[in-house]
Structure 1
Amino acid sequence: MRMTSDFADLVSSLDLPAKVRLLTGASAFTLAPEPAIGLGEMRFSDGPTGVRGLKFTGGRVVALFPNATLLASAWDEDAAHEVGRLLAEEAMAQQIHVVLGPTINLHRSPLGGRLFEAYSEDPLLTGRLAAAYVRGMQEAGVAACLKHLVANESETERNTMNSVVDEATLRELYLLPFEIAVEEAGAWSIMAAYNNVNGQAATEQRHVNNDIVKGEWGYDGLIMSDWFATKTAAPAANGGLDLVMPGPDGPWGAALVDAVKAGEVDESVIDDHLARLLLLASRVGALGTPREWPAQLPAPSSHVRKEQLTRLAAAGMTVLKNAGDTLPLDRQQTVALIGRHAVETIDMGGGSAQVNPPYQVSALEGLSALLGDKVSVVDGVDVRTRPVPARGGFLTAPSNGQAGIDVTIYDAEGNELERRFCGLAKTMIGMDDDFAGRPASARLAGIVEASGQVELGVLGVGAWSTSASPDFTLAASGNGFGEEVLTPPYRTFVVDSPGSLLFEATVSFEEMGLYGLVGTMASRETVDVIDDAVRAAAAADVAVVVAGLTEEQETESVDKSTLRLPGAQDALIEAVAGAARRTVVVVNAATPVLMPWLPRVDAVLWAGLPGQEGGHAVAAALLGDIEPAGRLVTTFPSADEAAPAWSVTPVDGDLRYDEGTYIGYRGHFAGKAPSPAFWLGHGLGYTTWEYSDVRLVLGDAPSITATVTNTGRRRSREVVQVYLRPVERDQPVRLVGWKAVTVEPGESARVTVHTDRRMWRTWNAEKGEWGRLADGGEFLVARGLGDIRATVS
């Protein structure tokens, strides 16, 4: 193998234990150096929506980007390339070599809790955006990591479940984004998933990892495990896994050395794994002469980042409905801004995608900055079923008065190990720390600056004592892998605050976990909140209700059970729509939600999870300062269970992908599910369009040309989409290409959409090889499959 020859001398200079030592992480997010061969430390970071750094929580302040579905909704490879480049800058500012992203699993079922990290339900759209992102990142010498290989579209029982997928579906759908990102961008690393695939762990997948990825695709990069995913030594090493994360402990080490000595693993396999690791190190500047990191890069809160992140977020926002040109808003109108998401806008999902941003701008702050006293606000109904660490400065740290809490960590003898300020009112203890002793307890403290009834509480596994309650113990339920970190247990209590109240809590624990303090105003009665909202809506020119999901529903480790908005948000919107002259709903969610109130509101703007500049981006989109020209990347079902693939709950450990290649729009179009509320590709923007002179240009991969005319009054961006409806009855419709163009009002543009040759392939299971669709079929030229503008045979 070429790689082995490139690094043969370095590999052969090490003995077997030294080789194996390098194939497991040295810590949670670093790899061990080996000075004898000029190998320096490599540093990894989670990175779907920001480069968090070497700490799982409470690390340095970094920029919070819009989430993947919002960025993808621009259908813009140039924007994806820019995001990759900006994330590379965020990585270089921290001397990070490898960013763990993009997530390119597909939106199989809309219930998937982690869909907010992934681009789309369509493999071509996902793959091409991922390739652009990877190019942008790796051009700066920072490695991207495609994840999670493969068939990892849901979170329920994710560490033990078995995805049962036929070979054609696996290759045509779920492997295709990885293939495109490898073929077009040469991604330098890939992450193997937690789940099993057809009875074999993803970390042991000889067929996927060795036969397809490294064999058929000729992939020369490195395949690493998801964190704590590797279960075996010899099967994983022989199954194509190159690197076990995290470290320093794991299933390899001495066990893998023994497996080689016992003849279970050939040492040439170890050499190949190490050669791939050294190739990665050479690419990112960790082998030989250490790379020089840029000295001057934009700070997370710089004006440069503010402009970039506002523009990227607003451009992906999608106008789903706009009756009577309600949007953009008239700056002379008075606006009643309503909803909990208006005052606490959700800017990122839960789990490993979370970062520590410099701030998070709410929709209230963003709109008020542009409209001033024309905006009145009504906090909405409760939207959470479990509390979260204090947000928005509700708790301030006694040490410095800043938003957050102080945490002091002790060993079993009561000796102080560390003091830390935690701006997110939570901290990880024991996972990525380097203490002089073993942590055994912690004291958390924050000051409440509010009068009246407040809800205070704690979260984390351990025995608790607080200044506001009797002592108690919190234990994990045992219902999920990593629960102590991703969904820790909690307890809250309502107390009266005189205006300034010190809240202290002490916890004793045995294992690592996430710990934090809860703080918020106590809940009001729903009927009182809705009454306030109705009065405000009736008094204003337009009511803007911001509603959506939270990191309870859109998170790692947990799937949704419904697409309904949590709490009484539907009732709130219905009541406002009945009282307001005009009603706009802003959906602050990354994935589909049900909209029973849709016929009664005038406009709907889908805003995703818009990142640290979220409020500014929402305001810019509502007022038309930046056109929300997004197109949906996921089909929105009209009801629960009204999707081609729905259940995410394994049966006897198996999650069967029985819908095959008919996920999302493919299944709806084939009649395997009712017509959706909104199709993939739907988006209105702020103008209207006419299509004419649509023509087919033949070739190995045909092209479609069309003239598009902006018939509205505003400069706008159109996304011309081309779908293929094959002649074969057992083949679904599929997106084969798209092209975006920006046109002035009254002007026209000639657009050419080059279709992708990979979308003509079909996998022949009997022959074990690729075949090709029959000639014929129809091209559908569309603004989403709900608005087909031309059909070309």
Structure 2
Amino acid sequence: MKYAEIISRMTLEEKASLTSGKDFWQSMDIARLNIGSMFLSDGPHGIRKQAAAADHLGLNPSIPATCFPTSATVANSWNEALGEEIGEYLGREAVAQKVNVLLGPGINMKRNPLCGRNFEYFSEDPYLAGKIAAGYIRGIQSQGISACVKHFCVNNQEERRMAIDTVVDERTLREVYLTAFEIAVKEGKTKSIMSSYNLLNGTYTNENVHLMYDILRGEWGFNGVVITDWGGSNDRVAGLIAGNELEMPTTAGETNEEIIQAIKSGRMKEEVLDQCVDRLLDLIFTTEEIYKESSSEFSKEKHHRIAQKVAEESIVLLKNDENILPLKKGTQVAIIGDFAEKPRYQGAGSSIVNPTMLHNSLDCFKESEFISVGYESGFERYGKKSKKKIEKACELAKKADVILLYIGLDEATEAEGLDRQDMKIPDNQIDLLNALYEVNQNIVVILSCGSAIEMPWIKKVKAVLHGYLGGQAGSSAMLRVLSGEVNPSGKLAETYPLHYEDTPSFDNFPGKEVSVEYREAVYIGYRYYDTANIDVLFPFGYGLSYTTFEYSDIKVNKDKVTFKIRNTGTVPGMEVAQLYVGCRSKEIFRPKKELKGFAKVFIDPGETKTVTIPFDDKTFRYFNVKTNKWEVEQSDYKILIGASSDDIRLIDSIFIEGTGAPLPYNKELLPSYYSGKANNVGKEEFETLIGRKVPVSTWDRKKPIGYNDTIAQCQYAKGWFARFAFHMITFAYWFLRKIGKRMTANVIMMSIYHMPFRGIARMTGGVVNMPMVDGILMIANGHFFKGLSHLLKERSKLIKGIRSDETIAKVIKES
């Protein structure tokens, strides 16, 4: 151990104390040994260090920080170097605010378009997500602090996220849901990882020895710190045994005592605790080195310019009929849409950043070379219909050459803690678009949202520019693309299906009660659509430019593929060339092709550049469930170079010698997977794939409610008070939505409805402890007076204990 000498001087109580938070955002300190606290802060796209009362839902404002574009936006840049640059600037701001651990980036896969937190994640593809995340991590940690990659792992829905059991086969787990984390660990060298709330195949992720010990530490060699998601600890001792060093936030010493008793009883060896403390000390000491120097400052203006640069490179041009874009100088434009005045520039929840400055489109147009004929909001932001607003917008539209229509999803629709209900833009916005089409058909749509949407209206518009969630400088970036000062180079990091019903996980999302089954296996996103030959609106990797590119001269050898790209247009531009690999053998089921590399190159008009994309250890591998390791199948492999997954420009092939592993599957028993049509896999076939029976996915309503049951299950409680409380919660949610308080209604779902009972203790910082939760459960299970008495008794004991601790601390301080 690195810090054996310091650890030898600690008491058992002190060692245990280090493994739980000091408060909501800080780790515990031990002054007598000069061990300081770490400050942990949310920050996937900006620092969210709260100056007032701390919370995990984004309710209280934070210290101003640069709001960079969200991860879903930056992924569209397909630029690892840009990710690293963002990381450097995030790291500088974290240092300026004295943050030790920046809680990000988030690299969960976009299994389903409706996941409420997709705006915080990069892609549906693990290779792309992993590579850009590794750039973020290198940038953040170059400033002396730690990144914290999250949420490890298979956290792909928000509904019941703290209690859902994710049922997934081992191969899919490795190839799809863990590969991005593997790249983050091996290439990004992340110092810390955040475990997810959910269970994985029956065991909470932070207690899952196979995940935390065998894979993370054993196979990948990770020697950093694993931190729970806030309130995500179930059995603290089991978590420590698996290697989950730090529990957040504080439990006011309650779980420390559990650790001490586990060691005294022999359930856990003290050496296990020592190893965890050793890794914690390393994170504490290495991230406090930067603070021995003078405090770092940053230029708000420079960081704002960088945020704009990132947004510019991440904007995706989805449609451009008649080359209506870029707009010519002097074009008369009508600016319509609420998002032009009040931009939608980030998500909602724990990632909310208080921006240092914020541009909106109306202010930006004052300095443009276009002629604005005026602005109309056109629609109510949160969906209420207004005929008057539409009429005023149409009158304005008649005066313009081009309508710039700013539409998208509002903050209450895309938020942490709950999933979207559909893939639609609100009806009142579509009503507006349809009305505008009747008076002026030169419509350019500027989209603002953090995830895929349906676009049944797309034939009625000439152009679509998708800015995703572009951060505080997103409006300025969009104007530069509209004017042609910037040639759009973003490409989609996720597929846009024609209809939500086309998605492979449609029948298995979200898990509503006990579990969610990943029956589609490896066929998520383009892997499914390409293999099953399903038409989509926009394919993975798609994006237009103001110029054109020609691909030629492909050459393949055992180490790499090279080819040439020529800019055949009239303006400079950047092109994202994508390497896909497809195995010709049919002995093991696979997607038709998979992304295995990419390169973004800047090319002047008439210029030709040679591009090289190297092969790596992930190019030809697959995970074999019989040998329980990565193998290579002997076969001819297609090497495909494309401008998107659906626009393949060059094809070659190479023969690869395999590792000679036995075939892992019986073809006849897995017909859906071998055909690729895995959107409606039956239970029996899925059980064959995972090699066991699937757990019962519905609640056992005969059993008493327990620690890991959610508040929502009170609807089935034996206790009348619990059932009454459930109905009051659901009524409050309905009523708040009815009167337009959707953000407040969402908080009820996030912080109450889907909260397991143990979360009442884990998330309240010691205000409520587990013995008090026992009393609450007695009430829920029909023992009202007994439970109330127990609750009040334990509350009294807790208060007396706190007062006693305060008295002791005061005496020590005075002496």
Instruction: Tell me whether the two structures share a fold, i.e. TM-score over 0.5.
Output: yes
Q: Which position in structure 2 is the counterpart of 1:234?
A: 237
Residue 611 (structure 2) pairs with residue 751 (structure 1): yes
- Give the TM-score normalised by structure 2: 0.77
Match of 1:292 in 2: 293
For residues 736 and 773 of structure 1, the distance between their equivalents in structure 2, rounded to whole angstroms, comes to 16
Do the aligned partners of 1:233 and 1:259 also contact (CA within 8 Å) in 2?
no
Q: Give the equivalent residue in structure 2 for 1:609.
A: 469
Aligned to 1:396: none
What residue is the counterpart of 2:192 in the other structure? 189
- What is the Cα deviation at residue 769 of structure 1? 1.6
Structure 2 CA distance for aligned equivalents of residues 204 and 308 of structure 1: 40
Matches within 5 A, 1:691-730: 691-696=551-556, 698-699=557-558, 702-729=559-586, 730=589
The CA RMSD over aligned residues, in Å, is: 1.6
Residue 244 of structure 1 and its aligned partner are, at CA, apart by: 0.3
Superposed displacement of residue 373, structure 1: 5.0
Identity %: 33
- Contact 1:148/1:192, CA 8 A, preserved across alignment: yes
Residue 608 of structure 1: SS of its match in structure 2?
Answer: coil
Q: Which residue does 2:404 correspond to in 1?
A: 544
Say if 2:330 and 2:371, in contact at 8 Å, map to a contact too. no
* Offset, 1:774: 2.8
Distance 1:773 1:540 in 2: 60
C-alpha contact (below 8 Å) 2:76/2:490 kept by paired residues: yes
Deviation at 1:363, TM superposition (A): 2.2
Write out aligned runs for 1:371-770 (5 A): 371=369, 373-384=371-382, 526-646=386-506, 647-671=508-532, 674-696=534-556, 698-699=557-558, 702-729=559-586, 730-732=589-591, 733-770=593-630
Q: Secondary structure at the match of 2:368?
A: helix
CA distances 1:2-56 after superposition (whole Å, capped 9, x unpaired): xx2x111111110111000011010111112223332112111000121111444
User: Which letter maps to 2:432?
Assistant: L
Any idea what SS the aligned residue of 2:41 has?
A: strand
**Maintained 8 Å contact 2:580/2:641:** yes
- Contact conserved, 2:585 with 2:635, CA < 8 A, in 1? no
Please state how far the C-alpha of 1:768 moved relative to its aligned partner: 1.3
Amino acid in the other structure paired with 2:333: V
> Is this contact kept in 2: 1:368–1:375, CA < 8 A?
no
Match of residue 32, structure 2, among 23, 30, 36 = 36
Deviations 1:339-373 (A, max 9, x none): 11122211110100102123332222223332475
What is the deviation of 1:250? 6.5
- In the alignment, does 2:14 pair up with 1:11? no
Alignment counterpart, residue 153 of structure 2, candidates 128, 140, 150 = 150
1:282 paired with 2:285, answer yes
Q: Distance in 1 between matches of 2:142 and 2:399?
A: 54
**Amino acid across the alignment from 1:720:** A
Amino acid in structure 2 at the alignment position of 1:708: I
The answer on whether the counterparts of 1:691 and 1:708 sit within 8 Å (CA) in structure 2 is yes
Q: Distance in 2 between matches of 1:728 and 1:163?
A: 30
1:363 correspondence with 2:337: no
Write the letter of the residue equivalent to 1:315: E
Aligned partner letter, 1:261 = K
Residue 490 (structure 1) aligns with = none
The letter of the residue matching 2:232 is A
1:203 to 2:206 alignment: yes
- The answer to whether the Cα contact below 8 Å between 1:231 and 1:251 also exists between their aligned partners in 2 is no
**Counterpart in the other structure of 1:790:** 650
Gaps of 5+ in 1: 386-522
SS across alignment from 1:596: coil
- State the TM-score, normalizing by the size of structure 1: 0.79
| Letter in structure 1 aligned against 2:16 | V
Taking the aligned partners of 1:37 and 1:139, their CA distance within structure 2 comes to 28
2:19 maps to which residue?
23
Name whichever structure is richer in strand by fraction: 1
The alpha-carbon deviation at position 296 of structure 1 amounts to 3.2
Aligned-partner SS, 1:327? coil
CA distance in 1 between counterparts of 2:328 and 2:438 reads: 21
Structure with the larger helix share: 2
User: When the two structures are aligned, how many residues end up with a matched partner?
Assistant: 642
In structure 1, give the amino acid aligned to 2:649.
R
Change (3 A) 1:528 1:80: same
| Contact 1:93–1:293 under 8 Å retained in 2 | no
For each residue in 1:256-287, what CA deviation from the matched residue of structure 2 results, as whole angstroms up to 9, or x when unmatched?
1111111111111101110110111122126x
Paired amino acid for 1:599: K
The alignment status of 1:109 with 2:112, answered yes or no, reads: yes
Structure 2 distance, partners of 1:218, 1:112, is 31
Shift of 1:111: 0.6
Quick one: distance in 2 between partners of 1:773 and 1:381?
Answer: 56
CA shift, 1:335, in A, is: 0.6
Aligned 8 A contact 2:108 2:155 in 1 = yes
Q: Which has the higher contact order (CA 8 A, sep 6+)?
A: 1
**Displacement after TM superposition at 1:375 (Å):** 4.6
In structure 2, stretches of 5+ residues that fail to align are: 654-815
What per-residue deviation string (whole Å, max 9, x for no partner) do you get for residues 316-336 of structure 1?
A: 000011111111111210111
Report the Cα distance in structure 1 between the residues aligned to 2:360 and 2:75, rounded to whole angstroms: 22
SS in 1 for 2:77: coil
Residue identity opposite 1:666 in structure 2: R
Matches within 5 A, 1:93-104: 93-104=96-107
Matched position secondary structure for 1:611: coil
Distance in 1 between the 2:291 and 2:374 partners?
Answer: 55
Q: Please list the CA deviations of residues 278-301 of structure 1 after superposition, one character each: whole Å capped at 9, or x if unmatched.
A: 111122126xx9522444322xxx
SS of the residue corresponding to residue 259 of structure 1 reads helix
Separation (CA, whole Å) in 1 of partners of 2:638 and 2:468:
33
Letter in 1 for 2:569: G
